[in-house]
Amino acid sequence: MSLLRINGVEARFGGVVALAGVTLDIPEGVIFGLIGPNGAGKTTLINVVSGLVKPTAGSITFGAEAGGPWPIASAVSRGIVRTFQQTRAFLGLTVRENLRIAAVSSPDPACIEELVDACGLAPVLDRVAGDLPYATLRHLGIALALALKPRLLLLDEPAVGLAEEEVERLGALVRRWHAGGITVLLVEHNVRFLMEMSDRVAVLDRGAVLFVGTPAECQDRQEVIDVYLGRRQADAAD
Amino acid sequence: MMDPLASSRHGFIRTVAAASAMLVAACAVSLQLNDYYLYVVTIGAIFAVLAVSFDVLLGYTGYLSLAHGALYGLGAYICAVLTARHGLPFWAALPVAGLATGAAGALVALLSFRTRGLYFAVLTLGIGLVGHQLFLVFDQVTGGVGGFVGIPGPEQPAWLPVSPVAYAALLALALLWVTFVAASLFVRSKLGAACLAVREDITLARALGIRVAAARLSAFAFSATFAGLAGALFAAISSFIAPESFTVLGTGFQLVALVVVGGMGTLWGPVVGAILLTALPEALRVASTYSLLAYGVLLLVCVIFAPKGIASLISAAVRRFRGKSKPAPDPARLRREATP
Ligand SMILES: Nc1ncnc2c1ncn2[C@@H]1O[C@H](COP(=O)(O)OP(=O)(O)OP(=O)(O)O)[C@@H](O)[C@H]1O
Ligand SMILES: [Mg+2]
């Protein structure tokens, strides 16, 4: 049973075609990985699904409900919640105030206590978010999204800039909430992390879906290696 | 574990207790003053009401509105018309003026929907200028440039045998208390949290399901309501009002100065700012020219030496004092460390 169905979504910015007719099925209960080179349209896809950017064509179905994408507030109330590629938290406010804001539209503010523990925020509740170490800030960004008890969590490169053990902590956090019943769309450049986490993987290139399959299938496909994995390895060799 | 969201109830009770103590002290001191200083207290308190209501908008929601002076005037004229022309008692006219001005504030919010920052300020500058002009143009109702004469004062209860001037000061202080407590409740509410989110990052606020338009509308309406109440009280105790009291360049900008100098986003900082910048120059007045000069110099000194407002200086001093006198151990941490 698919939770999110993306039907022929197209997004243009002036002459730039960011999404050229994307169709994807994200089954309920999976961690769905999405990779692709810079500028492939991954963030734009998250923007469309979360209601931040209106697509020029196409639609989405969420659960049994057709007629999306919805404006961002309605998307959130349906349980579609996203994080941002550039970490976003209320930098001028304390962690406690950040969580108080997340609690405003949370259907279950009591869950925040557990989140605070799981995200390692208990010792920093009264610190200003802008002064937090980078990894803690990233966790705060995810905690704000999880506080809304999403059905579908859209994570835009959560692991970027994190050290290895921090990536592991992040992975454990996502797995724990996933086990609690959340479906996850995970956009990530850290290929190893993505392949380890995901049940299914899609590859996006220049606004089009190149491949959908299991992580193992993905790593064997020549065209994927060419457009993405190969280019990454070449980058690393530079 | 301690509830990460619980901070507010205790803080709120403490805030109300402190505000009440200040109210009692201010009333007690006021009753010893002569009429001139009572007038200074009254005007200072009314400006403090304006400053606190303005802080909800500027400090907590992040919108610099220059229409606040006009809204203050609207409250004043509504009260004047209702009491002087229609014979309504002041205590009936006061809530009407507050609610009507609140509705006008909501209208300003709707008009300025989608603008932010400088554009918003310019738009409200326009609204403030138009408002002031309307007070001049509709002279049938407002008395025009000559002013509105003969506004009845607030009815004084028999059980409070003080002079009318002292009564006015007590009323202004009481309104300040009400405004402060209401604003404290507002900023601690869900709407207040939503306003902070709007101020800090509107996109993230939306992504977290905050109804941005509702938050902004409520901040405007709240802020305007108390500006209207301040205006109504000002009209009733002055018995005479004229458009020059409600200009953008006068009242509008003065409010910005009060709140910035006092400390935005603290509620009590603007009260300090209002005392310092309205009452003090009045009290120290030798000649009115020097009063304006003193005002300007005070502004300069404050912004140079306390760019985050006087409130930030005071809280830093309090923190340093507390830190030295008792290195308070966090009882929650001790408990956590004691349990395996
Ligand atoms: N708001 C916008 N206005 C104009 N162009 C945009 C906008 N958003 C995205 N684009 C363009 O759309 C294309 C896809 O961008 P997008 O950010 O979705 O890529 P991405 O896959 O997330 O890349 P990265 O891996 O670098 O994050 C890019 O060419 C980008 O410049
Ligand atoms: Mg991106």
Give the pLDDT confidence score for residue B320 in this predicted structure. 85
> Does B194 lie at the interface with A, CB-CB under 8 angstroms?
yes
CB B153 within 8 A of CB B42: no
Atom 4, ligand 1: which residue's CA is nearest? A13
From CA A151, how far away is CA A78, in angstroms rounded?
Answer: 8
> ipTM exceeding 0.85?
yes
For B46-97, what is each residue's pLDDT tens digit?
999 999 999 999 999 988 888 999 999 999 999 999 999 999 999 999 999 9
> Does B178 lie at the interface with A, CB-CB under 8 angstroms?
no
Average pLDDT of chain B is 85
Domain assignment of residue B269, yes or no: no
Q: How confident is the model at residue B326 (pLDDT cuts 50, 70, 90)?
A: very low
Q: Is the pLDDT of residue B328 over 60?
A: no
From CA A100, how far away is CA A84, in angstroms rounded?
Answer: 19
Output the CA torsion B196→B202→B207→B213 (10° steps).
Answer: 80
Q: How confident is the model at residue B278 (pLDDT cuts 50, 70, 90)?
A: confident
Instruction: Tell me the sheet residues that pair with A155.
Output: A186
Angle between helices B68-80 and B212-238 (to 10 degrees): 50
From CA A87, how far away is CA A90, in angstroms rounded?
Answer: 10
Q: How far is the CA of B212 from the centre of ligand 1 (A)?
A: 26
Among residues 16-55 of chain A, which lie with CB inside 8 Å of chain B?
Answer: 50, 52
Domain assignment of residue B192, yes or no: yes
Percent of chain B whose pLDDT exceeds 90: 44
Domain assignment of residue B243, yes or no: yes
The Cα of B48 is separated from the nearest Cα of chain A by a number of Å equal to: 26
Give the pLDDT confidence score for residue A223 in this predicted structure. 67
Looking at residue A85, its amino acid is Q
pTM of the model: 0.86
Pocket test for ligand 1, best of A43, A82, A85, A186 (most atoms within 8 A of CB): A43
DSSP assigned state of A71: P
Give the pLDDT confidence score for residue B90 in this predicted structure. 94
Shortest CB distance from A93 goes to which of B200, B203, B207?
B200
From CA B251, how far away is CA B131, in angstroms rounded?
Answer: 13
From CA B268, how far away is CA B278, in angstroms rounded?
Answer: 15
Domain assignment of residue B286, yes or no: no
From the list A16, A67, A58, A5, the residue with the least C-alpha distance to A207 is: A16
Domain assignment of residue B44, yes or no: yes
Domain assignment of residue B179, yes or no: yes
From CA B92, how far away is CA B78, in angstroms rounded?
Answer: 11
For B100-130, what is each residue's pLDDT tens digit?
999 999 998 888 867 777 888 888 899 999 9
Give the pLDDT confidence score for residue A105 in this predicted structure. 87
CB B57 within 8 A of CB B259: no
Low-confidence ranges of chain A (pLDDT < 70): 222-238
- Given the structure tokens 């709407």, which residue do they identify? B191
For A94-106, what is each residue's pLDDT tens digit?
999 999 999 998 8
Chain B residues with beta carbon closer than 8 angstroms to that of A122: 1, 4
CATH classification of the domain holding B77: 1.10.3470
Domain assignment of residue B103, yes or no: yes
The Cα of A87 is separated from the nearest Cα of chain B by a number of Å equal to: 10
The Cα of B247 is separated from the nearest Cα of chain A by a number of Å equal to: 33
Higher pLDDT: B19 or A232? It is B19
**A189 Cα nearest atom in ligand 1:** 25
For B132-162, what is each residue's pLDDT tens digit?
989 998 988 888 888 888 899 898 888 988 8
Q: How many domains does chain B have?
A: 1
Give the pLDDT confidence score for residue A58 in this predicted structure. 93
Domain assignment of residue B27, yes or no: yes
From the list A23, A32, A24, the residue with the least C-alpha distance to A186 is: A32
Residue B129's domain comprises 4-251
